């Protein structure tokens, strides 16, 4: 049963998920790879299946990811599954540091891909995520400065992120490490100067 429910969740087959649950499958049972139906549905971005599993009692704070290092919200944020993020937040998923490694969903949404996931970032902030939350000693803005993510740095500043001297130093260090991307880092330095951070 656990394997059948997990497969249906992975495939986004909401009707099959409903059948397995009606037949008595445990909603948070792990499959042979150690992953739950919610984990697999979130990873694949299947909104209706995620909603159905949560309504059946799936734990929105459970471990998720290939190594159980994440939570469903972290997983959805990383992949930019904005609609799934919204469903999980409505189900009570917390926005702060979570999972075995204390990941911050906002940092993941902002930094996992080069442009970040702007819609996911905006949704997390509308649901009360702390724009200055710290993950591994850096705020989301400081991470984007370190990675040279111009667009996301601008978005975070526009949404109220606190400009910091650390963000400035991260951008400068990035330009030194990656001279081929110096122009991107210079744009972030300019944005931080415009936001009031002085040398």
The predicted model gives 51-72 an average pLDDT of 96
Residue 160 has pLDDT above 90, yes or no: yes
Give the pLDDT score at 56. 97
| 73-111 pLDDT, tens digit each | 999 999 999 999 999 999 999 999 999 999 999 999 999
pLDDT class of 198 with cuts at 50, 70, 90: confident
Tokens for 24, please give them: 């008595």
Give the pLDDT score at 127. 97
CB neighbourhood size of 126 (10 A): 11
H helix intervals, the chain:
2-11, 14-22, 37-44, 47-55, 72-78, 82-90, 105-111, 118-126, 140-147, 150-158, 165-177, 182-194
pLDDT class of 39 with cuts at 50, 70, 90: very high
The predicted model gives 50-74 an average pLDDT of 96
Q: What is the mean pLDDT of the chain?
A: 97
- For 91, 156, 184, the CA distances from 111, given in Å and listed in that order, are 25, 11, 15
| 114-152 pLDDT, tens digit each | 999 999 999 999 999 999 999 999 999 999 999 999 999
> 5 with 32: CB under 8 angstroms?
no
Q: What is the pTM of this model?
A: 0.95
Residue 199 has pLDDT above 90, yes or no: no
């Amino acid at each position: 049963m656990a394997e059948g429910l997990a497969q249906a969740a992975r495939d986004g087959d909401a009707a099959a998920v409903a059948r397995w649950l009606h037949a008595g499958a445990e909603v948070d049972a792990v499959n042979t790879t150690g992953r739950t139906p919610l984990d697999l549905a979130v990873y694949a971005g299947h909104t209706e299946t995620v909603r159905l599993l949560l309504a059946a009692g799936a734990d929105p704070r459970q471990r998720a990811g290939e190594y159980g290092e994440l939570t469903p919200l972290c997983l959805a944020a990383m992949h930019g599954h904005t609609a799934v993020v919204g469903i999980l937040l409505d189900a009570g998923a917390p926005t702060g540091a979570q999972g075995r490694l204390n990941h911050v969903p906002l940092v993941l949404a902002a930094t996992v891909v080069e442009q970040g996931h702007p819609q996911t970032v905006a949704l997390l902030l509308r649901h009360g995520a702390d724009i200055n939350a710290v993950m591994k000693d850096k705020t989301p803005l400081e991470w984007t400065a370190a990675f040279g993510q111009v667009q996301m740095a601008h978005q975070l500043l526009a949404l109220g992120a606190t400009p910091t001297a650390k963000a400035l130093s991260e951008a400068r260090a990035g330009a030194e490490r990656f001279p081929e991307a110096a122009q991107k880092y210079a744009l972030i330095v300019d944005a931080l100067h415009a936001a009031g951070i002085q040398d």
